[in-house]
Structure 1
C-alpha cells in the first residue's frame, strides 16, 4: 500500500467541504456516513499512519554542550529512521457540529541512528544508537472548509502527539559520552517526533468529487449546506447537479426538499433525488444528445416489418407512390427535457418529443415525409455497477399525434401507431439501455469501491445503502 494510492479516514471527510455561504438551495444528493463507516475509516487511517510513519523523515539533531572539565562537546545525531512501530489502541468519534476526533494510545516506536561528537577541538568519536519510544499518544480533530476556489478542504484543527518514555542504548565510542547523550537526546527526540507526527496528520491527501460522465456532462457534488454531525452519524448535503461540460447553466427548476431516515446497517447511504435525474435530462436535451436516427439495419433481421416506403405506403399510399421502393430513416428526439418521478418501488420517466420520417433518395439525401408528436411513458430498473448507477428502461406506452405532413393528410395515423411502437421497442429502448448500462458515477473518493450495495426507490428519491472498500 503506497501513500499516493492509499485512502485514509479523512478521505471520507473530503465530502465535508463547506459551500459558498451566499448559496442557499436544497441538495440533489444526500450522504450519510454511519458509525460503521467511521470505524472502517479508522482502520484505513491507522494503516495510513503506520505506513507513512515508517518512512517519516526525522531531521538531524546537532548542537554543543559544555562538559566539565573537557569544555564544549559538539554533537550530531543523524540518519535516524523508524525500524518498528505499533498503534494498538485507537478510536474515532464524532464531535457534534464540528467534525471527527481521532485518538491513538499506548503506541510505541523503535528508532535507529548514528551519533558523532567532536571535543577538545580535534578529537572525534562516533557510533550508533537505538531508541525505544513508549506510551505514545496522538489526539487530533478534523474540521472542514473550502479554498479560494470553493473546492473542498479537510484540515486537522488540532493535533497533539505526546511521548511517554524514551529508552536509549548507545553503541561504540567512549562510555563517558553516554550520560552526555542521555541528558539531551530525550527532549530533542520528543520534540522532533511530536512535530513530525502531527505534520503527517496535517498533510493527509484529498481527492476531488466532481465527476465527469462523458463528453456532454459532469456531475457537481459540492456541498450546499454545512454537514450535519450528530453523535451517531454525519449527513452531507451535496448539490448533485448535472452540468454541460464547460457550461454550468442551472435548469429551470429547483431541487425539492427530501430527507433520509437514520440508517445503521451499512457504512454509507446515498440518496439521489429526482432533481439529479431531471438535471441530467435537462443537460442532455440541451446538448442535443437525446436524439437517435433509426435505419433499417438497426431493426432485427427477424422482424417482418422493414423500414421502407412500401411498408408505410400500405397505410399512406402517397408515400410509396411518390417514393417507390426506397429505404426510410426515422429521427426520434426529445423536444423538452424528460421528467423523472420516484414513487415507492417505482421510477417513471415521461418524455415528449418528435418522430420525423424520411425517405432516403437515390442520391442519399433525405426527403421528409411527416413529423409526429410523441408522449412516451417508460419505467426504469436501476442497480449499482461498480462505482456507478446503471439501469434499463421499458416502454409503458406511447401517444402520438400528427405534427406536420409532407405527403397529404395522414388519415391512417392510428393504424400506423403499432408500427412505431415496434420501432421504439426494438431499436430506441435497446439503444437507450446500452447507454444507461454504462452508468453514471456516484459520489466517491479515489479508489473507493462500493460493495454489498442495495437500492430502493422511495418517494422523490432513490436510496442506496452500501459498504465501502478502499484499494491501492
Structure 2
C-alpha cells in the first residue's frame, strides 16, 4: 500500500456540490513531510517485490565464438531510499521525488560455448544513483470517496555493476557489455509500474475515511467535501460539510454555514476549523430526535440539595400548591421550544436555549396533575477540548430568564422560583448534558492516524485545532 494517508481527506464527495463549509482542514508542509516518511517506507516495501524476468541471448566473443547465456532467479536483496522530497502541484495534486537510492540483486547465470562447454554460477548486481520522480493526481470517485492515480513517472539508473561468482575471467566482459545493459533496461520497465501499483493500492485504504462517522445511536456526522481542494504551493485546503444528521433520516436544517477562513499558520501538521454551523446542526438533529427533552425527578437532585421536588417545597413559594396538593412528590418536564443556538466569538462559545418547563404533582394513583408551565430562556458557556480524535466539551450556566406560560394553581410571582430553577439547571440539567458532551464527536480522520500535540483556539466564528499526526497502524 502507498499510504498517502495524510491526504485522504482531499476528495470525499463528488464535486458537483458547491456550498460554504461547516468544517475546514488545512494540511501544511510539516504535515506533508509526515506523510512522505510513511510513503517512502511503504514504497520501499513495494519495490522489494520487484521480479526481474529471466534474460537470455547469444553474442559472439573473440576468440571463442558464439556464446549463449542466460540470467535467471533474480531477486532483490537490498534496497535503500535515503533521500526523498514531496512537493505540491497547485490545483492538481502532489509529487514525490526519491534520489540517491540504491538497489542490489542476486541471481544465477549460465553460459554455453564451443557447442559443448557449459559453465554456471551466481552474481550480484548493484545499482547506485537510482532516482524516481512521480506525480499524483487527486479526484473523487463515483461513490464520493477520494481516489488517487499516478499521473507521471520517470526513473533514472546511475552506475550498474555486476560481480560474478565462478566462471572464467573472460565472462566478466560479456556480462559488463550485455547483461548490465539488459538488466538496466528491465529494471527501468519495472519500477514505474510498481509505483503505479502502490499509488493505486492506496485507494482501498482511502475507503476508511470517515465521510459519515457515527456519533451515537441518534446521530452521525458527515464530512464530505463541498468544493475542490485548494492546493497551493505550501498547503492543501479542504472544505468539508461538517453536518450532523439523524441516523436513517437525513434532513437539512433551515440554515447554512457562514463563510470563514483559516489563518496562515504553519507550526502544526494539520489545522481543523469548526464553525458554529456544525454545533447548530447537532442541536437541530438532537432536538428533532427528542433527546434534548428531559424528565426531572427528585432522585436526580443531589441529596445535599436543600431543594426537593415536592409540593411542600414549592408550596413555601406558591401556597396554592401546598393547599391543593399537600405532601406529594413532583416531576418536571423540560422541552426545547427552539433549537439551541451556538455562537462563537474570540475566546468564547455561547449557547442560547429557549424551553418550556411543566411542573406536575404525582398523585396517589401515579397520574400527573399539571401545576404550571414556565418559559425558560437561558444561556450557557461552553468549554471545548480535544480528546483523542474527538472534540468534547462541557457547559456552565450564564443566565436564566423565566416567564409564566400557564398556571393551573392561580397567579404567582415567577421571580420567587428563580433560585429553585437555577439549582435544577446547575445540578441536574447541565450535568446530564455534560455527560453527553464529554463523549464528544469524531473529527475528520482516516484509518489509524491519530492526533497529537493538539492546541485549540476559539476565534471569531469558528474553533481552530492545530495538531500533529501520529501513525498507530
Q: Normalising by structure 2, what TM-score?
A: 0.88
Displacement of 1:152: 1.9
Number of the residue aligned with 1:77: 72
Displacement of 1:76: 6.4
CA distance in 2, matches of 1:220, 1:123: 73
CA distance in 1, matches of 2:365, 2:113: 100
CA distance in 2, matches of 1:119, 1:367: 111
Is 1:107 the counterpart of 2:105? The answer is no
| Matched positions, count | 462
Displacement of 1:164: 2.4
Cα pair 2:91 2:231 within 8 Å, conserved = yes
CA distance in 2, matches of 1:345, 1:106: 49
Distance 1:135 1:292, change over 3 A: same
Query: Could you say what secondary structure the match of 1:236 adopts?
Result: strand
Show structure 1 runs of 5+ residues with no match.
Answer: none
Is 1:272 the counterpart of 2:274? The answer is yes
One of 371, 374, 377 as aligned partner of 1:375: 377
Distance 1:118 1:147, change over 3 A: farther
Number of the residue aligned with 2:38: 44
Displacement of 1:108: 0.7
Query: Could you say what secondary structure the match of 1:426 adopts?
Result: helix
Number of the residue aligned with 1:191: 189
Displacement of 1:217: 1.5
Cα pair 2:272 2:465 within 8 Å, conserved = yes
Question: What are the equivalent positions in structure 2 for 1:125-144 lying under 5 Å apart?
Answer: 127-144=121-138
Which digits, 9 at most, give the CA deviation of each residue in 1:50-95, with x for residues without a partner? 34434x2x336246534669989685633x4433222122111122
Which digits, 9 at most, give the CA deviation of each residue in 1:401-443, with x for residues without a partner? 22333x3224132212221111111111111112111112111
CA distance in 2, matches of 1:24, 1:388: 26
Cα pair 1:220 1:243 within 8 Å, conserved = yes
After TM superposition, the structure 1 stretch with the greater mean CA deviation from structure 2, 265-274 or 16-25, is 16-25
Q: Normalising by structure 1, what TM-score?
A: 0.88
Cα pair 1:161 1:197 within 8 Å, conserved = no
After TM superposition, the structure 1 stretch with the greater mean CA deviation from structure 2, 140-149 or 168-177, is 168-177
CA distance in 2, matches of 1:129, 1:459: 68
One of 146, 152, 160 as aligned partner of 1:158: 152
Which digits, 9 at most, give the CA deviation of each residue in 1:78-125, with x for residues without a partner? 3x4433222122111122222222111110122334567899999997
Displacement of 1:365: 4.4
Query: Could you say what secondary structure the match of 1:203 adopts?
Result: helix
Query: Could you say what secondary structure the match of 1:437 adopts?
Result: helix
Query: Could you say what secondary structure the match of 1:325 adopts?
Result: coil
CA distance in 2, matches of 1:389, 1:183: 58
Distance 1:94 1:378, change over 3 A: same
Number of the residue aligned with 1:350: 352
Which digits, 9 at most, give the CA deviation of each residue in 1:14-36, with x for residues without a partner? 22117534322101111121222
Distance 1:304 1:63, change over 3 A: same
CA distance in 1, matches of 2:276, 2:236: 22
RMSD, aligned CA: 2.9
Is 1:411 the counterpart of 2:403? The answer is no
Number of the residue aligned with 1:31: 25
Distance 1:321 1:122, change over 3 A: farther
